[in-house]
Amino acid sequence: MTALELFPELENPQCRSTKPKEGRSFTGSYLATCNLWVLWVSCGIFCRFVEAAENPQDKPVIVWTNGGPGCSSVGGGLMTELGPFFAQEDGTLKANPWSWNNVANVIFVEHPVGVGFSYSNDTSFYNDITDADDTADFYTFIQGWYARFPQYLNNPLWITGESYGGHYVPHFLQSIVQGNEAIAAGNGAPGAKTLNAKGMLVGNAWTVAELDNAGAAFYWWSHGLVSDSNYLGIFKACNMSNVGPLRRLSGGKTPFMPALQMSMAALEAAEASGRTFDQSCDYYQNAAMDSFNNVDIYDVYADVCVDSTGTKQLKPQAAAMARAAGLPIPTSSAVQVKAAGDDTTGGTADNAGGCWADYEPCIGGFVNTYLNRPDVQAAIHAKPTKWTDCSNIINYDRTSLLTSMLPVYEDLLTKGLSLLVYSGDVDAIVPVTGTRTWLDALDLPIAEEWRPYFVHQQVGGFVETYKGLTFATVRNAGHLVPGTQPARALHMVKHFINGKKL
Amino acid sequence: MKVIAATLLAAAAFVSADPAARIVDLPGWNDSSFDMYSGYINVRGAAQLAAVHL
């Protein structure tokens, strides 16, 4: 039974369209959105739902999550990547012609509890959050969402995200599949509905620590960002399965796991010639960061954000995974990006090949200002909050962070789902080289050979289809693919969720 | 202010009152060609509902 069933007055249109009164406080927790009825919850997941621009009743439903772990999907995905508008410096919102709500109904979910506007009255929930904890909360959340919007129960459902979404997205999809199976077996959660999950799309996905890390080091070397000695030193000194991702660090790490045979062979050859690599992993990682200190690790060919004082801004996501891994937070990383040399002007959705010329590399600051405005928080029915893009109050479980996701993929591959792994090819934090390595480890037969795909006469990227899984690169896209190559990203999602070839 | 509260027990599965109320008058945005909603969904423990007489 839902609260709407218990209290049908909540459906009162006057109630739904009335903002909370400012200055009114209630003991407990969050207040909902009407004058007469107030709901407070003990542990709330906040979401923004954007209906499709046309015929929403006929469009799929997409759940989007950012990564971190601990970064906001409202501040990130909605307001800087794939939502219908982006924040501007003057406090207004600017339309995004490549919004994903051109092709789907999109839910942006703030999770785990403690991230963005989501919260818990019991702050112990912020400690040692595991993938399993977060996944259980997600399943409850998505069932609650469908209880509110049952008209979408039969529409195809897709789970999407990026970065640490490499854990979130497969886990969330698996929870829905398992929930459906439990319902079919007669032992589903009370009140749970069967959901029409079709598959997932996940980009620059943190998946297998040792392979993603080794891929990152290889990417840095192959893109001319670090020296030979620095690269080989990383492979010699770092335990790739125990850090994540590689970044500026202090504190020692030890043995080396050979993820890329080419790198190992190069290291052995160098040592055979008499060269030594006897510094610590921290030393080599910090040396790498020093080497490309002024390059955005999230988009190596993009401009970095320099604020009005001439100071580079730390990208919020840069700190999140280091914090989750219990590692020192990097102090010098670039922020938001702009595709280098691409001044294509904006056009209609899916009608331009390059990056949005008006993309603002410092947009993160604008979003922070906007979402902390009391009038904005009231309008979006959020609990008054000191909103931050990436949470500094949650403590994510390190074991979860370092656990391989390949067993989850192996399970999902047996369920008849459509899986798309995509990779912005100028990201250096969870780069395409690592992704291709762990895809290789899945050892899937090729169903369609590697080929380019085109977005308005230009190569949008390359695609290879395996049995049960499609892999696509997005050319000249950084870690935040929909934000750095919005037209190519929209092309990709539109085609994939509609069962068409890229 | 008189408050009458009713507790929705955990047995009331997937409490979902007002998880996503429609957004109106979003500052800086005047496109009404599609609807947007936002709000909270309780995911652990009991949620409470109160009638507030103003």
Q: What is the pLDDT of residue A332?
A: 39
Output the pTM of the full model. Answer: 0.82
Contact A470, A421 (CB under 8 A): yes
Distance CA B37, CA B19 (A): 9
Q: What is the pLDDT of residue A36?
A: 34
3 state DSSP class of A86:
strand
A479 is catalytic: yes
The yes-or-no verdict on residue A256 having pLDDT over 80 is no
Q: Which amino acid is at A278?
A: D
Please give the residue that has the higher pLDDT: either A183 or A262: A183
Residue with tokens 């850090």: A243
A303 is catalytic: no
Distance CA A65, CA A82 (A): 11
Q: What is the pLDDT of residue A291?
A: 84
Please give the residue that has the higher pLDDT: either A96 or A344: A96
The yes-or-no verdict on residue A369 having pLDDT over 60 is yes
Tokens coding A129: 């959050």
Interface size A-B, in CB pairs within 8 Å, comes to: 203
Please give the residue that has the higher pLDDT: either B30 or A496: A496
Q: What is the pLDDT of residue A285?
A: 85
pLDDT in tens, A158-175: 999 999 999 999 999 999
Distance CA A453, CA A493 (A): 13
Contact A336, A316 (CB under 8 A): no
The yes-or-no verdict on residue A276 having pLDDT over 80 is yes
Please give the residue that has the higher pLDDT: either B12 or A495: A495
Q: What is the pLDDT of residue A47?
A: 87
Q: In 10 A of CB A49, how many CB atoms?
A: 25
The yes-or-no verdict on residue A476 having pLDDT over 50 is yes
Distance CA A63, CA A161 (A): 8
Q: What's the mean pLDDT in A349-363? A: 54
Task: Give the closest-approach CA distance of A122 to chain B in angstroms.
Answer: 10
A307 is catalytic: no
Task: Give the closest-approach CA distance of A388 to chain B in angstroms.
Answer: 17
Question: Cis omega (within 30 of 0) on the bond before A245?
Answer: yes
pLDDT in tens, A374-398: 999 999 988 899 999 999 889 999 8
Query: Taking CB atoms and an 8 Å limit, are B40 and A93 in contact across chains?
Result: no
Confidence of residue A339 (pLDDT cuts 50, 70, 90): very low
Q: What is the pLDDT of residue A396?
A: 92
Contact A169, A202 (CB under 8 A): yes
| Residue B21: closest C-alpha in chain A | A16
Distance CA A464, CA A432 (A): 13
Residues forming beta bridges with residue A462, ordered by sequence position: A452
Confidence of residue A266 (pLDDT cuts 50, 70, 90): confident
> Which of A167, A479, A491, A495 does the annotation list as catalytic?
A479
Please give the residue that has the higher pLDDT: either B19 or A147: A147
Q: With both helix axes pointing from N to C terminus, report the angle between A432-442 and A209-222 in degrees, rounded to the nearest 10.
A: 140
Share of chain A above pLDDT 90, in %: 54
Q: What's the mean pLDDT in A65-70? A: 93
**Residues in A 380-419 with any Cβ partner in B closer than 8 A:** 380-383
Q: What is the pLDDT of residue A346?
A: 34
CA A488, A87, A119, B39 dihedral sign is negative
Look at A123-132, A345-354, A449-458 and tell me which has the smallest mean pLDDT.
Answer: A345-354
Q: What is the pLDDT of residue A196?
A: 98
The yes-or-no verdict on residue A477 having pLDDT over 70 is yes
* Mean pLDDT of all residues belonging to chain A: 81
